[in-house]
Amino acid sequence: MLLKLDHISYKVKKKKILHNISFSLKKHDFLTLTGPSGCGKSTILKLVASLISPTTGTIFYQDRDIAEIDPIQYRRKVSYCFQQPLLFGKTVNDNLSFPFEIRKQNMDMTRIDQLLRLVDLDHSYLDKKKEELSGGEKQRVALIRNLLFMPKILLLDEVTTGLDDQSKEIVHHLINDCHEKGTTILQVTHDQEELHSASKLMKMTKEGTLA
Amino acid sequence: MKSLAVSNWSLLLAFALVLVSIAISAKEKLGLTKDILISVVRAIIQLIIVGYILKFILHANNLILTIVSTTVIIFNASWNANQRDPNSKRKIWNSVIAILVGTYITLGILVLSGTIKPTPMQVIPITGMIAGNEMVAVGLCYKALNDSFHDLQQQILERLALGSDIKTACFPILRRSIKTAMQPTIDSAKTVGLVNLPGMMSGLIFAGVNPIYAIKYQIMITFMLLSATSLGAVIAGYLAYRNYFNERKQLELG
């Protein structure tokens, strides 16, 4: 098993957000999670990304409790994409150089160009200021920022919300390409098209449990 | 020098200035009357005690007593700076290290360069000035750090989610906080002599010292404060940002 959530509960100041969540993901799975607003879908992704820890229960990655794995190395393998990503620095280049900087590696321009092409952008975008990008372009840059070093698991938090049809199609194409190359996907969505095409769908209740 | 002596009657009359602030507080219903009276009583008692202690220490001219005095000043400054940190997981030793290192390095350079003599008469007032300014800078750094962690929370989370260590994730916040902490000292250095005539320079001129000598001292103090506040803010910032993370390198805002 690549990932297993075992009886996970999460509370914030006595308020129950998630209650007794258990599910697992095999390598190459594509699991779609849906449910009403505020039911804790994003919290599940943040827990899996180890950005927060469960109040009770255990998350296993390759049969190891993630609490025992170095969080930095773990987050490089299990990559979380935000619903409304923030680009940092001034330019697109500042964002795409970051994953290389934190690994103390030189920028791989071939890899960057390949991913830019995949999302219908080109090399000239590297010098563009982040303020000059449309919402769809920002989301595409943020996504390829997560994919420069292919993660084992990609966590997608409503990444197509608010995008126009063209940008949505490009993002779907990128996600499918990533899945075909072996990355396991766990996505949260409300999008009807994504829900219809989901191969494996899991629904949550308003009370923060699995339906 | 006798013209500098303030008589008890003059002090009593100067108390009228306190009555002005009490009157404002009462008229505007600020509810500060009690606070003003407590602060005035505390200031009088503290200064009288410190006056007698200083008289004794300066007269004794003893190295150990001088070191103890500077340590007490540094600890008090650290305690006050720590109180200004809004983070519930603040650690007093962060402030102690920042202010102690900043003060002793600056003091060491001044003594070794022969700018000041290692006598209690010179070391103690200079330590007070350095630690006092560092206290303000460190307090500002903590406040700016807390504000930035709340304002830029998602930016930090995005960096952490990409697999960044906490120090790299916090670089923009650290830069912003250290800059905020140093800004008042830099602004004050820019306007010194034009807007404000600092206490030490004014005091020396009051005491009849040649203004050129007084200005030389003030230049030395300006350099000294720039060094001390930079050191204090950098050390405090780099120690305190860790208090916002748990052992799993997760951001925890109280």
Summarised one tens digit per residue, pLDDT across range B217-246 is: 889 889 999 999 999 999 999 999 999 999
Contacts of A51 in chain B (CB under 8 A): 157, 160-161, 250-251
The CATH number that applies at residue A160 is 3.40.50.300
* CB within 8 Å: B159 and A80: no
Whether chain A has a CB inside 8 Å of the CB on B198: the answer is: no
Summarised one tens digit per residue, pLDDT across range B26-63 is: 999 899 999 999 999 999 999 999 999 989 998 888 99
Contacts of A79 in chain B (CB under 8 A): 161-163
Nearest Cα residue to B100 out of B74, B118, B122:
B74
* CB within 8 Å: A75 and B157: no
| Per-residue model confidence (pLDDT) at position A162 | 87
The CA distance from A77 to A46, in Å, is 14
Residue to mutate among A86, A97, A152, with most B CBs inside 10 A, is A86
Whether chain A has a CB inside 8 Å of the CB on B107: the answer is: no
Mean pLDDT computed over every residue of chain A: 95
| Residue A211, in any domain of the structure | no
Contacts of A80 in chain B (CB under 8 A): 161
Residue to mutate among A12, A50, A55, A72, with most B CBs inside 10 A, is A72
Summarised one tens digit per residue, pLDDT across range A46-95 is: 999 999 999 999 999 999 999 999 999 999 999 999 988 999 999 999 99
Domain that holds residue A135: 3-203
Residue A63 CB neighbour total at 10 angstroms:
9
Q: For strand A64-65 and strand A56-61, is the pairing parallel, antiparallel, or unpaired?
A: antiparallel
| Per-residue model confidence (pLDDT) at position B3 | 56
Summarised one tens digit per residue, pLDDT across range B127-183 is: 999 999 999 999 999 999 999 999 999 999 999 999 999 999 999 999 999 999 999
Q: Mean pLDDT across the stretch A33-54?
A: 96
* CB within 8 Å: A76 and B163: yes
* CB within 8 Å: B158 and A85: yes
pLDDT band at B4 (very low <50, low <70, confident <90, very high): low
Question: Minimal Cα distance from A144: which residue of B?
Answer: B162
- Please spell the DSSP secondary structure of A128-165, one letter per residue: SBGGGS-HHHHHHHHHHHHHSS--SEEEEESTTTT--H
Q: How many independent structural domains does chain A possess? A: 1
Q: Is the pLDDT of residue B252 over 90?
A: yes
Q: Is the pLDDT of residue B93 over 90?
A: yes
Summarised one tens digit per residue, pLDDT across range A144-161 is: 999 999 999 999 999 999
| Per-residue model confidence (pLDDT) at position A14 | 87
Question: Minimal Cα distance from B172: which residue of A?
Answer: A89
* CB within 8 Å: B163 and A86: no
The CA distance from B68 to B110, in Å, is 19
